[in-house]
Amino acid sequence: MRLNKYIASCGAASRRGADTLVEVGKVTVNGCVVKTHGMDIDVHKDTVCVDGVILRPEQKKVYIMLNKPAGVLSTCRDDRGRKTVLDIVHDVDERLFPVGRLDYDTEGMLLLTNDGDFAYQCTHPKHEQDKTYYAEVNGELTSTALSTLEQGVIIDGRITSKAKIKVLNKSGNQTKLQITIHEGRNRQVRKMFEAVGCHVSYLKRTAIGNLTIGNLALGQWRYLTGKDFSLLGIILFPKSDKQ
């Protein structure tokens, strides 16, 4: 890559400004002051400095919402060759990672990004970001059991935080409901209902904070918008020519 283009890609100056920096002797490559502009560098091997500061290319931040199908892992790779969320979001150039997780057999909203600060705001317990699920539950789900779930049940040796549950429909031993939690433990919703003697037969995450899955089709994804960040309660507005 041309040196001036590399300097510009790092946000240190425009290409013309990079040529000026070279002319006044402020640019070094591998510790040596560059005498003339227009040289080529190997971006993977050469170290470029301006005023003694090492330059790093600016990485475009990417934020994506995926409606994850069941049978897909919320991970970047799998040693057993199973399908991962990155197999679905395969035509994005940037290297992404999932924000939190969704169980293998759970559908619904999963965010992906390459921005660690954004992921922290979404997942750290101190931010208490609500996660809302639609669930179909088999078993005798009594009012006492519902109250117990809302107050917290012990799973994996620790009590869960309070939950919000709204029963949508009840027919025999099957209950359709909405449950909102802000923790993200492994298979938490399923284990919570198991703790009161019930089994979750279907589970889909429909919202994170005030951001809902909307009409995004199963297995499809889209870039987040400024409004989405507001709904998440995160002050961070990505600039992307793909949005």
Does the annotation count 103 as an active-site position?
Answer: yes
* φ and ψ of 34, to 5 deg: -80, 130
Alpha-carbon span 41 to 163, nearest angstrom: 56
| Continuous segment of H or E residues that includes residue 158 | strand 158-159
What is the largest distance, in Å, between two alpha-carbon atoms of the chain? 82
CA distances from 45 to 41, 42, 177 (A): 8, 5, 56
Q: Which of 79, 103, 156, 241 is catalytic?
A: 103
Question: What is the distance, to the nearest Å, from the Cα of residue 55 to the centroid of all Cα atoms in its chain?
Answer: 27
Alpha-carbon span 226 to 51, nearest angstrom: 36
Alpha-carbon span 119 to 225, nearest angstrom: 16
**Tokens 């507001």 identify what position?**
230
Q: Do the beta carbons of residue 57 and residue 46 sit within 8 Å?
A: no
Alpha-carbon span 230 to 214, nearest angstrom: 16
Q: Which residues are catalytic?
A: 103
